């Protein structure tokens, strides 16, 4: 139906690039990539090895994907990131990360004496950015910018699994603002919102990078501290507690404190609700004991 010249022309006109890659990682041919909004001419890659073009770790990753496609014989789909840091030679790679979807299919004939695949790379950077934005919106509290209840429960579920498998410790701090209703009544809800925003800022300042902080609802906050035993979590919570009155006085011009409860995941716990309930009981113990303190259970 088509001549060899016509088939080559059709392949070269594909908007997405299609690479013929051998098992050893050699670029045997490059077709397409005519959508110049997303791709550069890849013809200079023909005859070269991925290991000459990419950093070792990235080249090994590509080689592993090729091997998976060859072993299965089925369509192998992967998402991956490429940036200048992945490419050998200064200035040879993009100055920002680009996301791709790779569709990898084993060929039923050898190329240059080797098993080979066709790898079609589609630029999905915009799609990935949109998905990340939607994910962030679905997991973030609009007022404070902290995580919301949904993200918190997912995080705790993951920590429960880590504890069951490898006994990795995790502590949880639950705290709220003392006399929050009085603040709203006396100064208005805008002041209450400002206090919650200030609490969120303090959490970012005093807590560690791998701690997960969420606004659980109203003026209640929950902090998940991976790799942390209860005694260490108490020290962290105390630093946060001591900083609150001074910061609220400056930011909202209102005297207030926080009360909290700390607990650590332990063998009887079966769900995230178990550890949350125990930390919450510590919070109410602090309330009954006079507020402005953190209790552990």
Q: For the chain, give the longest Cα–Cα distance.
A: 87
Same domain (yes/no): 189, 247: yes
Same domain (yes/no): 41, 65: yes
Beta carbons within 10 angstroms of residue 45's beta carbon: 19
Distance CA 104, CA 190 (A): 55
Distance CA 191, CA 197 (A): 10
Domain ranges, residue 219: 140-296
Mean pLDDT for the stretch of residues 99-115: 95
pTM above threshold 0.75: no
Q: Is the pLDDT assigned to residue 145 strictly greater than 90? A: yes
Mean pLDDT for the stretch of residues 67-82: 95
Same domain (yes/no): 150, 127: no
Same domain (yes/no): 103, 178: no
| Residues 165-180 pLDDT 10s | 889 999 999 999 999 9
Same domain (yes/no): 106, 146: no
Same domain (yes/no): 203, 265: yes
Mean pLDDT for the stretch of residues 116-138: 81
Domain end marker among 131, 157, 190: 131
The structural domain count of the chain equals 2
């Amino acid at each position: 139906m088509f001549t060899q010249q016509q088939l080559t022309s059709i392949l070269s006109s594909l908007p997405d690039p299609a690479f013929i890659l051998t098992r050893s990682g050699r670029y045997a041919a490059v077709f397409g990539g005519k959508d110049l909004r997303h791709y550069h001419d890849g013809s200079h890659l023909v005859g070269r090895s991925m290991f000459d073009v990419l950093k070792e770790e990235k080249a090994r990753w590509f080689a592993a994907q090729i091997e998976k496609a060859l072993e299965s014989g089925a369509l192998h789909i992967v998402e991956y990131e490429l940036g200048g840091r992945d490419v050998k030679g200064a200035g040879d790679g993009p100055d920002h990360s680009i996301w791709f979807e790779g569709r990898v299919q084993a060929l039923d004939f050898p190329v240059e004496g080797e098993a080979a695949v066709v790898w079609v790379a589609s630029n999905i950077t915009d799609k990935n950015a949109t998905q990340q934005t939607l994910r962030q919106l679905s997991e973030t509290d609009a007022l404070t910018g902290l995580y919301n209840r949904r993200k918190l429960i997912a995080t705790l579920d993951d920590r429960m699994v880590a504890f069951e498998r490898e006994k990795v410790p995790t502590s949880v701090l639950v705290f709220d603002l003392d006399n929050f209703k009085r603040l709203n009544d006396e100064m208005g809800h805008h002041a209450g919102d400002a206090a919650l925003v200030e609490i969120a800022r303090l959490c970012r300042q005093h807590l560690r990078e791998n701690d997960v902080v969420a606004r659980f609802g109203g003026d209640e906050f929950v902090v998940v501290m991976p790799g942390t035993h209860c005694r260490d979590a108490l020290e962290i919570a105390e630093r946060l507690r001591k900083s609150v009155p001074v910061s609220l006085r400056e930011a909202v011009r209102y005297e207030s404190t926080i009360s909290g409860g700390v607990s650590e995941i332990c063998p009887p716990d079966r769900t995230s609700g178990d550890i949350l309930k125990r930390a919450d009981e510590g919070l109410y113990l602090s309330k009954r004991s006079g507020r402005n303190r953190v209790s552990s259970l």
